[in-house]
A and B are shown apart, each in its own frame.
Chain A
Amino acid sequence: MRLLTHNMLSSNIKGVINGFPLRIEAEKVVIKEVDFNPDFIKNMFSKIDWKALADASKIMGYAELPEEVPDHSVLDSDEFLQKFHHALLQLHLEEGALVCPETGRRFPVNKGIPNMLLHEDEMNLDATCTSSASNP
């Protein structure tokens, strides 16, 4: 799983208000080469939660990204884009877990695939129950 996906994922458990970002427990990290595409990276920049990405890449053993949110001018620097590209697309979490920041529930990551399946009692359906019952 790339950090791009980690940056999009949030915990979906019932009652959790802010399930983002999921804390990473890294056991095995692999690096896979990906073609560098500046257009995609620039397009993604505005959608990325920077703090989550910087923290996650640090846990994965890559501390090159700046702590504070950089402004748009850095997008012209090729060096920055390369670092951003590496953190976003090339760092893969192969084995480990994602942990919900509120409940502490562990979502295991196995062979790069996070298991986000919820148990019956964690499903976030009850909030919608009342409204749909009234207009079947």
Chain B
Amino acid sequence: MSSRPELQAPPEIFYDDVEARKYTSSSRIVGIQAELSERALELLALPDDGIPRLLLDIGCGSGLSGETISEDGHQWIGLDISRSMLDVALERETEGDLILGDMGQGLGLRPGVIDGAISISAVQWLCNADKSCHEPRLRLKAFFGSLYRCLGRGARAVFQLYPENNAQRELILSFAMRAGFAGGVVIDYPHSSKKRKEYLVLTCGPPSMSTMTPSAKGEDENSCSDEESSGDEENQTVCISDRHRSRKKQKVTKKGKTRSWVLQKKEKMRSKGNVVPPDTKYTARKRKARF
């Protein structure tokens, strides 16, 4: 992971005109951003009564995530530190209002007015100290504290993030908890390296039924939604099973791939989030000899 943008430059410099342009010209980036924000909105679990809400988009960038919010009919206010990205958002004529600001300085918003907040791939930037006056802990504290104040009771905040390591994930989560939020991490497709996505789902107010962490996609048991240590355990079990795989076992599989083996393999690929053809009566059948 040497290509992490967080390691290259501060956000207001990294997201310059060239980088910002990619967020309109690259259909791949546009597609990923839309997918992430759709999932974040889903996790936000706004009441389904057709009333538009006022949402906050932290690190809105060029407004790709905001467009998803607009499509759902909600109003939004976007905050970003990069002027170049906001200029692109202006060009795209996004519907929400844009603010040039730094989330690490705290959000200057009135208390209790926002119905929900989302953030796509932004919060991990807070862990960087790009200037001498930056102290990640203080910035995290200022951010989560001010966010907690401006959200209404029972409102949710969903952050999609790319933590660099376990320590960073724990740091972010601990500051969220200290600010008063309840919630945890939801990991979609935990078995896949490519499609694996992490969401921090936070709820304002004390823990209750409504603050339960929603279940993740592409996992069979409820091992991952629990706490941040689960990712670690996963890796460990993989390592152990690798170590114990004997040569004998491999020979057995060589003999012939039975239907049950194929079904098992397909299920595994499905859990990784890959596109797998459905199981039919033809699955794992042998071809005719004349083929």
Task: List chain A positions with a Cβ less than 8 A from chain B.
Answer: 1-2, 4-5, 7-12, 19-20, 37, 39-40, 43-44, 47, 49, 89, 111-118, 120, 123-125, 128-129, 132, 136
Contact A113 B102 (CB under 8 A): no
Partner of B105, one of A7, A12, A111, A115: A12
Contact partner, A115, options B100, B114, B131, Cβ 8 Å = B100
Q: Provided the pairs A125-B138, A125-B142 are in contact, do residues A5 and B99 lie with their beta carbons within 8 angstroms?
A: yes
User: Shortest beta-carbon distance, A95 to chain B, in Å?
Assistant: 13
Tell which of B99, B131, B145 touches A9, judged by Cβ atoms closer than 8 Å.
Answer: B99
Bound together, the chains give a CA A12 to CA B149 distance in angstroms of: 13
Residues of A within 8 A of B146 (CB): 12
Given contacts A40-B51, A125-B142, A128-B138, contact A10 B90 (CB under 8 A): no
> B97 to chain A: which residues have CB within 8 Å?
1-2, 4-5, 112
Give residues in B with beta carbon < 8 Å to A. Answer: 50-54, 75, 77, 81, 83, 86-87, 90, 97-102, 105-110, 112-114, 131, 133, 135, 137-139, 141-142, 145-146, 150
Residue of A nearest to B73 (CB): A37
Look across to chain B and name the residue whose beta carbon is closest to the beta carbon of A92: B97
| CB atoms of A44 and B81 under 8 A apart | no
Main secondary structure of the interface of B (DSSP, over half): mixed
CA distance A104 to B133 in the complex (A): 24
**How far apart are the CA atoms of A50 and B106 in the complex, in Å?**
25
CA of A44 to CA of B115, assembled, Å: 10
Q: Contacts A1-B97, A2-B97, A113-B90; is A11 near B77 (CB within 8 Å)?
A: no
Contacts of A9 in B (CB 8 A): 99, 108-110
Q: List 6 A-B contacts (CB under 8 A).
A: A39-B51, A40-B52, A40-B75, A113-B83, A115-B101, A132-B141
Does B138 contact A43, Cβ atoms closer than 8 Å? Answer: no
User: In the bound complex, how far is the Cα of B142 from the Cα of A4, in angstroms?
Assistant: 24
- Given the known interface contacts A5-B97, A9-B109, A128-B138, the answer about A43 and B51 at a Cβ–Cβ threshold of 8 Å is yes
Give the chain A neighbours of B112 by CB distance below 8 A: 47
Residue of A44, A49, A113 with most partner-chain B CB within 10 A? A113
Cβ–Cβ < 8 Å partners of B75 in chain A = 4, 40, 89
Question: Bound complex: CA of A132 vs CA of B136, how far in Å?
Answer: 12
Which of chain B's residues have a CB closer than 8 A to the CB of A49?
110
Contact A113-B113, Cβ < 8 Å, known A124-B106, A128-B145, A132-B141: no
Please name all residues of chain A whose beta carbon is closer than 8 Å to the beta carbon of B106 when the two chains form the complex: 12, 124
A130: min CB distance to chain B, Å: 11
A8 and B109 in contact, given A40-B51, A44-B54, A132-B138 (Cβ under 8 angstroms) = yes
State the CA gap A115–B80 with chains docked (Å).
10
Instruction: In the A-B complex, list the 7 residue pairs whose CB atoms are closest, starting with the nearest.
Output: A12-B108, A116-B101, A40-B52, A5-B97, A39-B51, A115-B100, A125-B138
